[in-house]
Chains A and B, each alone.
Chain A
Amino acid sequence: AQSVTQLGSHVSVSEGALVLLRCNYSSSVPPYLFWYVQYPNQGLQLLLKYTSAATLVKGINGFEAEFKKSETSFHLTKPSAHMSDAAEYFCAVRFLGANNLFFGTGTRLTVIP
């Protein structure tokens, strides 16, 4: 079955520390992969996307993600957390032949001053 797994529903980091949010998917064929951010009372905003080009993808706000086919992973990182990064982050996957995106359960990032 097709699935998207985000490890850790809550992640807390200190301001200035590394941010690492994990995402794994189940598929033998590399899909299209996305990370979205949702701030309180807002819709989802695209952070970055992987569509079979470079495996290291750079996004907005200093975030980047690396596609690792052997690990079926697409983890999101940021070298130095900022208070404004506090939000909910969703990994999303478009599997081969699917019209819509499949979303992970989300990870709430808290940044501690």
Chain B
Amino acid sequence: SAVISQKPSRDICQRGTSLTIQCQVDSQVTMMFWYRQQPGQSLTLIATANQGSEATYESGFVIDKFPISRPNLTFSTLTVSNMSPEDSSIYLCSVERDQNTEAFFGQGTRLTVV
């Protein structure tokens, strides 16, 4: 298994500002992902965080809006930039040791933009 610490657990932010979410894993992992879960909906993959290089974004998500860093194999950040109320969601960090194993999730960050 993997123990994931995600911070902050929740925040209320003003529109137009940015929030950086941190994801720390207790051991090295191969894959790290960021998901968004909008109210009452399922998880949508935002991007794959690649160690030492630019993240791989899914359709509909761009680096300018959701910059991601992954400086090593245990840590990643997701920034939600220039926020609007439509960005109000739960953001989840997920890790996998390799492609044939299950994903482990952080507790999530509940973001409300006012």
Contact = CB atoms under 8 A, between A and B. Distances in A.
Given A43-B92, A43-B107, A99-B31, A104 B42 contact: yes
A100 B110 CA distance: 22
Q: Which of A41, A44, A45 has the most CB of B within 10 A?
A: A44
Nearest to B106: A43
Contact of B42 (A41, A94, A105): A105
A90 interface: yes
Given A43-B92, A90-B42, A94-B99, A100 B33 contact: yes
Interface of B is mostly: strand
Given A43-B105, A43-B106, A90 B43 contact: yes
Interface of B: 4, 6, 31, 33, 41-43, 45, 48, 92, 94, 99-100, 102-108, 110
Interface of A: 32, 34, 36, 41-46, 49, 51, 90, 92, 94, 99-101, 103-106
11 contacts: A41-B110, A43-B107, A44-B43, A44-B92, A49-B102, A90-B43, A92-B103, A99-B31, A99-B99, A100-B48, A106-B42
